[in-house]
Structure 1
Amino acid sequence: MVRPRNVIDCGAFALRRWRGQSDFAAAFTLIEESLTHLRPWEPWVASHDEEHTRALLARCDTWWASGEVYTYAIAEDGVPVGMCQAVRADEPGGRRVGYWLHPAATGRGLATRAVAALAEEMFTLPDMVYLEIVHDPANTASAAVARRLGFTELRREPAALPLAPAGSGTAVVRRLDRPRYPVALPPADGDNDQVKDAPTAPTPVVLGIDDLRPLPRATRIARTSREGVRLLEEHRDGYIDELWLDHDLGGDDTIMPVVTLLEEAAFHGRPFRIGVVFVHSSNPIGAETVVRSLVHWNYRVQRATA
């Protein structure tokens, strides 16, 4: 069985697999300090005590070994400030993602970035087809994370029991599908010679420039306009099958320096060779500006949902 990495280094933070009972003190303190924050939406909080935390960590080890649940601590400077996990769904090839933060770690986009990193890691697994996030319609913070990352509403269904204290009784199910391109699998035993001699299809070049979304289709992702310009310059003389662009890149940063690079290349008679540019921004005015600018220079552009 192929499993995700034990540690996913994200620069300013990391996702780290819980290390059994050696993590008891950190996990217990994290939950203890977050009880008031979690109680409205997490029914398991009513059972919180030392025994419950030790049992949780023991189950984390068992679940990881079986592939049933992959649970990570969200850590800053080595200190856990939240948790996230991917639970095997009822339908084959799917997992449901859960996440929460210590109240002191909220309000700065950490949950979104952590779930984005978890989603990227899950889509490296060969059996993954889709991810889902399930939230109460009244839990606006959880809903915002899902929307920012491109999870689209699939259906609404009765919420699982027991209900959380603030629960409405309804669960919103949002889904993010795996990219269309197949994942290369290692050859089966005994097939090495045959595979070695077989022609290999080229890997599509799919570039994404987005500050938050996981963009599972992308082979490379830039999170700022500066990184985006550098990423395109690296592919100046090659062919880009798909280029995914978001307008708002956090703070005052936007995609416009990247758009300017594409425009100037076309103006000088050497446009970038791109199959399709997908604009998936949630900013309709900014997205329309990008579409109009690139269409003017004869790039093939589509509006899309990441």
Structure 2
Amino acid sequence: MTSQAESERDESDAGLGALISERRRLIGLAYRLLGSLAEAEDAVQETYTRWYAMSRHEQDAIDSPGAWLTTVATRVCLDLLGSARVRRERYVGEWIPEPLPERTGWISGRPGTAAADPVDRITLDESVSMAFLVILESMSPAQRVALILHDVFAYSFAEIAEITGRTPAACRELASSARRRVRTSRPPEVPAAHQARLVREFKKAWEAQNIDALVGLLAPGATFTADGGGMVPAALHPIEGEGIARYLTDLAARASGGLMVLERTVNGRPGLVIEHEGVTVAVYAFDVADDRITRIWAVRNPDKLRPWTAG
């Protein structure tokens, strides 16, 4: 009897460990779908709440708990995406996805799978870049789900159809249209070392308040978008071209002491972090093409800087 009880306990512990190990992957999935780590954590928490609300008999009847968790998490995210659109219509200023610090467990794909056709897939690193997340914001929730599940997490269209309640053909078309939007919205990603060099030169020019140097680093049609969420001062609308250099040098001239501009990895790409007396007050993400900076995203909303200030 003791041996049987111990065996059952071991199986229970192993099952619990497997469930917990899914959490990191689920947060990675939910973050890509929602663009917010806080919302992703809430979605995954809701998913586990639904799992533990079932009886042990109901849980044992599920062949693949991991697949069940993915299905539920995706559906929770779809519900949140619908309500998020309403909330963002009331958002003060521009809404930018929540930036994440240096690569950790949130870059993770579906274990044990590989892309059948790498040309048709988004790489894990690219799938958390700020540029990619911003493009996702322009898609419908269904397009976003089909693209992320197939191109990033390597789910088949038959599996995606089961999760979303659509046909495999419809899911394939959704992913294809989403992929076309990605390809037409941004040029191929440049090597990280190349972007790091441009970001470093940008930092030096900004600290020196050198407008000419800043203009020289920016593409003619470059845009600067800030997100203060109505909680801190930030430009309410995107700034373009040479106006970016003037805006940033004016910020530097008006800044009080104790500010530090640090080179950091932002969503897997070289970026900048602004600290005031040791506290992160802004995170800058960049997109680069043809040896020029094309886009700058400046997140100042304190709620979105939690991963940069915790511990």
| TM-score in terms of structure 2 length | 0.29
User: Which structure shows the bigger proportion of residues in strand conformation?
Assistant: 1
**Which of 1 and 2 has higher RCO (CA within 8 Å, sep 6+)?**
2
